[in-house]
Amino acid sequence: MKFFIDTANLAQIKEAHEMGVLDGVTTNPSLMAKEGITGDENVINHYKAICEITDGDVSAEVISTTFDEMVAEGEALAKLHEQIVVKVPMIKDGVKAIKYFTSKGIRTNCTLVFSAGQALLAAKAGATYVSPFVGRLDDVATDGMQLIEDIRLIYDNYGYETQILAASVRHPMHIIQCAKIGADVITAPLSAIAALLKHPLTDNGLAQFLADHAKAAGK
């Protein structure tokens, strides 16, 4: 399973990269705004800076919502760097734009997916990735993980190559459940990825090993 970090924060991207487990980065307009990145030039430079940290895929989201505008914006984003994947919302013009980008060899991430039907459309349009939002479904008392299972079943039934990129992942159990189901990728905040490290028995065990070693060495 690939690990993407879901942030536009360069320090956190570096930290995840230095852990050695980072396969890519996803961003969205809210995450870019959170880092104070506004204006075309700053946005472009920020995507380039992210591509310099990781050698994995970097999702850059279009802001426009009509086919012609999404095509123009997506083509410009794709030209920035070979690692850029154009992130397109699951709307009618978005599906059409994904189909167009696929025909031009431009990779896409279909975002804001909340149902199996939407995921089926994204795969039929040839999306490279589909992003079902697990946490936001959980927020409205709907089982986000069930959606990952449903999409896995549907994609496997027909051999769709679109990769399931579980998004809106909020905590380590989401990551583990995604791995059990067979999501291809998770994108999560650094806190959720780092939380996989922690176990009190590891900390206690290490403290004991070091104490025993020091005692035996007469320290």
Mask 173-212, x = binds ligand G3P (CB under 6 A)? --------------x-------------------------
Which of 81, 96, 136, 171 is in the footprint of ligand G3P by CB under 6 A? Answer: 136
CB 51 within 8 A of CB 78: no
CA 121 to chain centre: 19
Alpha-carbon distance of 62 to 189, in angstroms, equals 21
Q: How far is the CB of 67 from ligand G3P (least distance, A)?
A: 23
For ligand G3P, the binding residues in 26-45 under the rule CB under 6 A are: 26, 28
Identify which of residues 29 and 182 has a Cβ nearer to ligand G3P in the complex.
29
Question: What is the phi/psi pair of residue 81, to 5°?
Answer: -165, 145
Cα atoms in the 13 Å half-sphere on the side-chain side of 209? 6
Mask 95-134, x = binds ligand G3P (CB under 6 A)? ------------------------------------x-x-
CA dist 6 to 56, 160, 187, 201, Å? 13, 24, 5, 29
Which of 168, 174, 190, 193 is in the footprint of ligand G3P by CB under 6 A? Answer: 168
Identify which of residues 34 and 79 has a Cβ nearer to ligand G3P in the complex.
34
Q: What is the DSSP string of 77-117?
A: HHHH-TTEEEEEESSHHHHHHHHHHHHTT--EEEEEE-SHH
Kindly list the residues in this chain that would bind ligand G3P in the complex (CB under 6 A). Answer: 6, 26, 28, 131, 133, 135-136, 167-168, 170, 187
So which residues are the catalytic ones?
A: 87
